[in-house]
Amino acid sequence: MTLRLGATLPKDPNMDHYRQNLHPAYPHLWELKITVRPMALAIVPWQDWNQNQNPDWWRAHQKVKHHRDQHLPGANLENVLHSAAGLLVFLTYWYSTAAASASLSASSMRWASSSIFS
């Protein structure tokens, strides 16, 4: 998405670089809420971006990735659900842009017809 915006990123970008480029371009992204059914669990995965911070689930992911022996409790279902919701938000933005430009095809949306989402 940052390439689509024409953003210039360093050789080894991190989430701060992406946040700095994406948040101004998509100022309401942090407000998007994903509801997980049938639990009616509401997740706003990027809400911390409104305070210019990375999400808790992202920080937990980094700790587990780099120091698994010390931070294994961060590898939990709550963080998985929040990260999946974060991915869904970005996929929605990505494909809504493609749909608006009429470059979205049925084959590019096969994942949407999966029974996992019904």
Interior/surface letters 76-97, b for 16+ CB within 10 angstroms, e for the rest: eeebebbbebbeebbeebebee
Q: Is 17 exposed, middle or buried (0-12, 13-18, 19+ CB in 10 A)?
A: middle
Tell me which DSSP letter residue 32 carries: -
Q: Where are the domains of the chain?
A: 2-7+16-102
pTM of the predicted model as reported, rounded to 2 decimal places: 0.76
CA distance 93 to 103: 14
What is the mean pLDDT of the segment spanning 17-44?
89
Is pLDDT above 70 for 114? no
Each residue's pLDDT tens digit, 54-109 = 999 999 998 999 998 998 888 899 999 999 999 999 888 888 766 566 554 545 54
Residue 61: other Cβ atoms inside 10 A: 20
Residue 67: how many CA atoms within 13 Å on its side-chain side?
A: 6
Each residue's pLDDT tens digit, 32-54 = 999 988 888 999 999 999 999 99
- What are the residues whose beta carbons fall under 8 Å from the beta carbon of 58, sequence distance 6 or more? 15, 83, 86
